[in-house]
Chain A
Amino acid sequence: MKAFEYATAHSTDSARELVADHGAYLAGGNDLLGLLKEYLVSADTLVNIKSLPNMDKIVRSEQKWTIGALVTIGEIERNAEMAKAFPGLHDAAMEIASPQIRNVATVGGNLAQHSRCWYFRHRDTVCLKKGGDLCYARNSENRYHSLFTGNDCISPVVSSLATTFAALDATAIVLCNGVETRMSMDDLYQKAWKEVAAHNSLNPGDLILRVRIPTTRSRSAYMQVSDKHAFDWALVSCAAAAEVVDGKLKSPRVALGSISPVPHQVQAANDFLDGKTLDDATASQAADMILAGATPREHNGYKVPMAHALIRRTLLKLKG
């Protein structure tokens, strides 16, 4: 990797100042160091943010849980109270990478991670996302790619936390130009939907501070399918959350990962499910709605039936 300066920030203001225009924030480092070593990104300064106060805390109130961006995936996995409140989040955390990685990987880093497209990650291909003029995946090996996209890049969002947070209607609090800004998961990835070069909506210097999860949905679930049984990226992931009152869904939300540059959500399907009693047929209908308009490519068509099954199964898990 290229040489860089290293600094430790003790306040968000100083972090922002240190990172300036060409720096990068360093927390768990899982994604950033890989990108630097492959010369996929460059940073003149790495700003260690692990000493920022209170960003590694989990705070709960009646209405919401607030998870600091420096909370590790391992802490989410091991937090029994949180597993009770948000079983879907717990299950999503359990599926991420390996225990060693979960012990250092942070919530903020998981949300901000870059595309895993194998053309983007390859040191010797200059794909569209890297400023080239060709999306190789569209024309060649696209087995891991999107069924939906709003631009010419078909690499999907792979953050399982983003998928789950979307279903839980969580909000990220992001420091944008010194101003704390609330972003839904839609907001957080919208730019990646529209722009080939974007991995998320964060601009240089933006910093995810925490995530707020409302307690309005006591039921949640997460499922994914990978080629392997552990330590593998999801081919498709699905999260669902709702309140269940008298056997009927209230405020249900379903989101999918690895099939779109954003956590894939269809409001009409959420509306359709609202007030329904869950059964196979209902879940199946919702799945049809969620996957309507999917664009299967040469090698990723399998994601359609796989997503369909995952939506049904994840929804049915909400019944408890």
Chain B
Amino acid sequence: MPSWPANTKYIGQSTLRVDAEAKVTGRARYSSDIQADDWLYGMILRSKWPAAKISAINLDKARQIPGIKAAITVRDGERTIRFYGEELAAVAGTTKQACLDALRAIEVTAQPLPFVVREDDAKKDDAPKVWEGVANVSTGRVREQGSNVDQAFTECAAVIEGFYTTPVQIHNPMETHGNTVSWTDDGVTAWASTQGVSSVRDALAGALKLDHSQVRVLTEFMGGGFGAKLGGGVEGVLAARLSKEAKAPVRLMLTRFDNALAVGNRPSSFQKIKIGALADGTLHAFEMENYGTAGIGAGADAGGGGGGANIPAPYIYAVPNTRVKQSAVAVNAGSSRAFRAPGHPPASYGMESAMDDLAAKLGMDPLELRLKNDSNEIRQREYKLGAEKFGWKEKYRKPGSSPGVVKTGIGCAGANWPGGGPNRRTQGDAQINPDGTIEFRLGVQDIGTGTKTVIAVVAAEMLGLKPEQITVKVGDTNFPPGPASGGSTTCSSISPTVYDICDKALQQLQTQSGIADARGENWFAACKKLGVTPLVVHGQWQQGLSTSPAYGVQFAEVEVDTETGLVTVKKVLGVHDCGLIIDKLTTESQVNGGIIMGMGYALYEERVMDDLSGVVLNPNFETYKLPGIADVPEIEIILINMPERGVIGIGEPATVPTAAAIGNAVFNAIGVRVGSMPITPAKVLAALGKVPPSTVSKS
């Protein structure tokens, strides 16, 4: 069984991203920067109706706009539209303005249909059906554990009931979705902003009815995906079809407006939780009824309603008597898609809020309640370490006992991420040249997490070279297959693969050069003995160097202005394990990013649907609010390095507990629960009972 070296020079240390300079100087070419020869702009016409029967789409006038080279419909014939923003047609042209004019010239014959965009409205018996003949609400499964849950509640010393809701969070990577696609007689080349060059290749080949070998996908640099860029996308297929018709490469990058409607989101949740504990704090009974919407997502195949809205409950705790009922509600809105730790942030928010409410009822310190009930040894360690560093004991006050108008509060929450483990079929090549240069080629992609740097660090460690001496090429389906970057799997897939490539390279070099140890100072001498033919070695993922899952806890400190309702996060401390840390710097970046994203979820982000028109009301960063630099608190990170566990991904667990910790800190500060995220000033003032009722009826 292979094992990681005990004493390391680069692994576990901080290495600057190998492409840092290219990125900060703008030399790095992101997917949206690609300018293929004679490329055209591509744009999509979207439905302005939330539900409609489309009987005809006439492209004639669009085609007559000067500069327009192609115009297509998404589908021929009659069709039903189920959400505002659904794709209808697409055009390609020589200028952006030509495309905009063409979109406005397309004539759509539509018969608007009744629609419903809010979960509670969609649940009503007389609500318009999102999918014909199928109930909006899925039947929902009841999962029961223990002898008698109702009886168990009567045995509890303290029981609380709470209603905790989380909004639909829109996917907003800094680089929008999109690609440049060139379709020639030789096949299709797609420069895609994607998390999975291989998955996009297969998806495009399938949709375009081409052989896999006829499609090549390239992703040199891309600006984030968070789960929303694993497939070919409507924009991929449309760009390809436009390119075929126009006989030119088509760049179809979505706008921020487009992204708000149709590239996926995190489902909402409406969690009614009842939880009880024995007098010593031991959790004894738990009941949850949850519903949420995945938009139109998976409605048909879920036998009614949308899928993907279920969350793990009672999350990280083992409660002997539990009853969980979950259902999904279909609404006329864009579908959900995997979103950084799918299911976990809402699960953490609901359950961890309930834990603090229960602790208050028990008169217990909520950290104590967690230590009492969380059986996971690593999280126990993280809580204790974090509490010490955070000064939990010194800072903790009973909920609502902070004096003054501006109150301070602290909170904590835990995370579990079952992913983070490897894709066992990951492969890669390295070419070692007689001059000692070495190039790694892996069909993985760097989604901004530092994948290229990880490859360079592992290779440098194994070969006794410096990271900057390693050339890394990724993001090309012509390279040996790598994993899609979802589920925090990339690092644990590629690190053992690079280990194996290096291991094989050293063996081969020994054989060919006669030098017993080709590492370090012997490297160049050994390579020289290759003569004129470079050495190419192929490696694959090896057992024993990576694992899962990952655990983490976070602590938050907030100030709440009880007169204005404004919440200011002062500090977040993240304590996370991810097994063997490859590069400390990029690992910390993942935690920083996860915490900031979690902050956005806690305080700012929310898709607002208008029930009168069915549109997304906030399809821009003006009103879809994201944390800015002024909102970001001091972030402290403690990484628990556990080389014995091997490599584990960190991207997802880092964002799981933030919102719950912040929500609990707000509760601790003001003594009342804001049970609905985002925790806006309006909701804080409402929770404090300061908001006068409306004096007008709707007109």
Contacts and interface: CB of A to CB of B under 8 A. Distances in A.
Contact of B628 (A231, A233, A296, A302): A231
A227 interface: yes
A295 interface: yes
B693 A296 contact: yes
B631 interface: yes
B685 A140 contact: no
A301 B681 contact: no
Contacts of A298: 694, 698
Interface string A271-311: 00000000000000000000000011111111011101110
Nearest to B680: A227
A36 to B, nearest CB: 12
Interface in A132-182: 134-136, 138-141, 143
B608 A141 contact: yes
A125 B618 CA distance: 12
Given A134-B612, A139-B699, A225 B564 contact: yes
Interface string B585-624: 0000000000000000001100010111101011100110
B691 A304 contact: yes
Contacts of A143: 682
Interface in B360-388: none
Contacts of A295: 695-696
B538 interface: no
B571 interface: no
A124 B630 contact: no
A225 B566 contact: yes
B568 interface: yes
Contacts of A134: 612
B118 to A, nearest CB: 10
A124 B615 CA distance: 8
Given A119-B617, A227-B604, A232-B625, A302 B631 contact: no
Contacts of A229: 568, 628, 630-631
A235 B628 contact: no
A227 to B, nearest CB: 6
Contacts of A306: 563-565, 681, 685
Contacts of A233: 622
B610 A140 contact: yes
A230 B608 contact: no
Interface in B656-699: 680-682, 685-686, 690-696, 698-699
Contacts of B48: 124
Given A225-B681, A227-B681, A228-B604, A302 B696 contact: no
Residue among B568, B604, B694 having the largest count of chain A Cβ atoms under 10 Å: B694
A296 B694 contact: yes
Contacts of A6: none
B12 interface: no
Contacts of B695: 295-296
Interface string A113-126: 00010110010110
Contacts of B698: 138-139, 298
Contact of A310 (B84, B564, B629): B564
A103 B694 CA distance: 40
Contacts of A124: 48, 84, 613, 615
A301 B611 CA distance: 20
Contacts, number: 112
B265 to A, nearest CB: 18
A309 B604 CA distance: 22
A119 B617 CA distance: 7
Contacts of A119: 610, 613, 617
B471 to A, nearest CB: 37
B464 interface: no
Contact of A228 (B97, B613, B631, B699): B631
Interface in B9-26: none
Given A301-B693, A302-B565, A306-B565, A136 B613 contact: yes
B448 interface: no
Residue among B622, B627, B680 having the largest count of chain A Cβ atoms under 10 Å: B622
A302 B685 contact: yes
Nearest to A97: B622
A248 B614 CA distance: 54
Contacts of A297: 694, 696
Contacts of B97: 1, 3
A174 B84 CA distance: 42
A305 B603 CA distance: 20
A125 B615 contact: yes
Contacts of A302: 565, 681-682, 685-686, 690-691
A51 B615 CA distance: 41
Nearest to B611: A140
Contacts of B604: 227-228
A228 B565 CA distance: 11
Nearest to B566: A225
Contact of A136 (B603, B610, B691, B696): B610
Interface in A20-44: none
B188 to A, nearest CB: 32
Contacts of B622: 116, 233
B696 A228 contact: no
A125 B613 contact: yes
Nearest to A118: B617
Nearest to B564: A225
A138 B696 CA distance: 9
B97 to A, nearest CB: 8
A12 B518 CA distance: 79
Contacts of B629: 230
Residue among A135, A231, A233, A304 having the largest count of chain B Cβ atoms under 10 Å: A231
Contacts of B623: 118
B145 to A, nearest CB: 40
A113 to B, nearest CB: 13
A306 B562 CA distance: 10
A235 B681 CA distance: 9
A135 B610 CA distance: 12
A138 B610 CA distance: 12
Nearest to B608: A141
A3 B98 CA distance: 11
A232 B600 CA distance: 14
Nearest to A3: B97
Contacts of B630: 228-231
Contacts of B564: 225, 306, 309-310
Contacts of B612: 134, 136, 139-140
A141 B617 contact: yes
B685 A305 contact: yes
A141 to B, nearest CB: 6
B86 to A, nearest CB: 13
B563 A309 contact: yes
A47 to B, nearest CB: 21
A159 B154 CA distance: 58
Contacts of B619: 122
A1 to B, nearest CB: 8
Contacts of B631: 228-230
Nearest to A301: B691
B93 to A, nearest CB: 15
Given A227-B625, A228-B627, A301-B693, 4 more contacts: A225-B565, A228-B625, A232-B625, A235-B682
9 contacts: A228-B631, A229-B568, A229-B630, A230-B631, A231-B630, A233-B622, A296-B692, A302-B681, A305-B692
Interface of A: 1, 3, 116, 118-119, 122, 124-125, 134-136, 138-141, 143, 225, 227-233, 235, 295-302, 304-306, 308-310, 313
Interface of B: 48, 84, 97, 100, 563-566, 568, 603-604, 608, 610-613, 615, 617-619, 622-623, 625, 627-631, 680-682, 685-686, 690-696, 698-699
